[in-house]
Amino acid sequence: MSAEGWEGPSFDLDDDHRSFQEVCRTFVAREMIPRVREAEAAGTFPAELWPAMAKAGLLGVGHPEEYGGTGGGVLALTILSEELAHSSGGLAITPLVSSYMAGPHLARFGNAEQKQRWLAPLLAGDVVAAIAVTEPGAGSDVAAMGASAKAVDGGYALRGTKMFITNAGLADVTIVAAKTDPDAGHGGITTFLVERGADGVTLSPPLEKLGWHASDTREVFLDDCFVAEEAILGTAGRGFHQIMEAFQVERLALAGMAVGLAQVALDDAIAHARERRTFGSPLSGHQTIRHRLATAAAELESARTLTYQAAARWDAGHPEAATTTAMAKLLAPRVASRVVDEALQIFGGYGFIEETPVAMHFRDARILRIGGGTDEVQLEILAKRMGF
């Protein structure tokens, strides 16, 4: 099926977004996919990809041009996330966290000096960033965090433990959320810029994860880590609101990853179904297999369309953008889990060995229903918007 020559109403991407999609797809095929196995085995992101991504304009989407950004909006970022996931979840999430989950805090809330020091080199691929909000006892409930920031002479002393922090071992700067006023609830949280090697900061060894093997994920321990007054990012006491604002883009990046991961798994399953022969015919010759692939394709297209719509609504300032984002973050990862499960089933025993990429995609898909706001959080958001 092709939309070529069609001039009626359409939800297809426009020429600019299609061109950007092709740039992303070409980069991933040439630079990232050949490095997947090595990165998965090493458990880290290949350092040479940072300058290559910057040169291709893939680290600055939506960021201010005066600091090295390349323009574009939330839809462009969603497309980038989708295409990066064609490599692996671990390779995709690493630059997404640095530029598009930590980076927006610098772009939106940093002062001129902070942007010049951290945002500009980040977009150039010279600096890696992380964001440390989640704790062992506080994930979706951000306001329940226990990390504290006690005022001391000239700044603050940070104490607490952060958990599941992506890029922690790679980051030159980490955005740390802590309570400057433990009695103020949502209004008592502040974010700080903590540099690599700061006194009072230690990291756990990399956490052994079910998926995303190519990403660096660790615990971060803060033991009276001193940060100067100038290290406050944004406004003291406004950290919770800053985090919630940035969550919207993060959720769409993760929804885009889900779509991309499901697409590559489905493509692999279709190719396998055409090549693998059973009972005298290709797998695709069996109606039950054809119909399962057709169902997966229909579900995936629905998730992609909703995700693109949510992103386009943010770019257009639509009043229901947040609602559509919650729907996309709920639907796309669920669809990805189903599609990848079907793909693995179609591969049979071959899908259960590491030689077949679908095994990696199967593992990588599961976290997308947890990170950036769980299924349950998205459902509660939607229920409240329905008046419950």
Three-class HEC string of the chain = CCCCCCCCCCCCCCHHHHHHHHHHHHHHHHHHHHHHHHHHHHCCCCCCHHHHHHHCCCCCECCCHHHCCCECCHHHHHHHHHHHCCCCHHHHHHHHHHHHHHHHHHHHHCCHHHHHHHHHHHHCCCCCEEEECCECCECCCHHHCCCEEEEECCEEEEEEEEEEEECCCCCCEEEEEEECCCCCHHHHEEEEEEECCCCCEEECCCCCCCCCCCCCEEEEEEEEEEEEHHHEECCCCCHHHHHHHHHHHHHHHHHHHHHHHHHHHHHHHHHHHHHCEECCEEHHHCHHHHHHHHHHHHHHHHHHHHHHHHHHHHHHCCCCHHHHHHHHHHHHHHHHHHHHHHHHHHHHHHHHCCCCHHHHHHHHHHHHHCCCCCHHHHHHHHHHHCCC
Write out pLDDT tens, residues 318-360: 999 999 999 999 999 999 999 999 999 999 999 999 989 999 9
Computed from CA positions of residues 238, 241, 242, 243, in that sequence, does the dihedral angle turn out positive or negative? positive
Q: Rounded to 5 degrees, what angle do the CA atoms 223, 224, 229 make?
A: 135
Sequence-separated (6 or more) residues with CB below 8 Å from residue 284: 270, 273, 274, 290, 293
CATH 1.10.540.10 placement within the chain? 15-128
Task: Check residue 139 and give its pLDDT.
Answer: 75
Task: Check residue 183 and give its pLDDT.
Answer: 85
Task: Check residue 185 and give its pLDDT.
Answer: 82
CB 92 within 8 A of CB 256: no
Please provide the CATH number assigned to the domain covering 130-237: 2.40.110.10
Predicted TM-score of the model (pTM): 0.95
* 180-189 mean pLDDT: 89
**CA-wise closest residue to 135 among 148, 124, 123:** 148
pLDDT bracket for residue 140 (50, 70, 90): confident
* 209-216 mean pLDDT: 97
The amino acid sitting at 271 is A
Helix 357-366 with 239-275: angle, nearest 10 deg: 150
**Alpha-carbon span 90 to 36, nearest angstrom:** 9
pLDDT bracket for residue 388 (50, 70, 90): very high
Choice among 125-129, 140-144, 219-223, 276-280 with the minimum mean pLDDT: 140-144
pLDDT bracket for residue 9 (50, 70, 90): low
Round to the nearest angstrom and report the end-to-end CA distance of the chain: 42
The set of catalytic residues is: 250
Yes or no: is domain 15-128 CATH 1.10.540.10? yes
CA atoms within 13 A on the CB side of 116: 3
* 226-233 mean pLDDT: 96
Task: Check residue 71 and give its pLDDT.
Answer: 86
Residue 3 has pLDDT above 70, yes or no: no
Residue 2 has pLDDT above 60, yes or no: no
Q: What are phi and psi of 249, to 5 degrees?
A: -70, -40
CATH 2.40.110.10 placement within the chain? 130-237
Task: Check residue 233 and give its pLDDT.
Answer: 97
Task: Check residue 316 and give its pLDDT.
Answer: 95
Question: Domain 241-385: which topology?
Answer: Butyryl-CoA Dehydrogenase, subunit A; domain 3 (1.20.140)
Phi-psi category of residue 316: left, alpha or beta, with phi > 0 → left and psi -120 to 50 → alpha? alpha
CB 253 within 8 A of CB 77: yes
Task: Check residue 1 and give its pLDDT.
Answer: 42
CATH 1.20.140.10 placement within the chain? 241-385
Task: Check residue 235 and give its pLDDT.
Answer: 94
**Alpha-carbon span 254 to 251, nearest angstrom:** 5
- What is the percentage of the chain residues whose pLDDT exceeds 90? 90
pLDDT bracket for residue 12 (50, 70, 90): confident
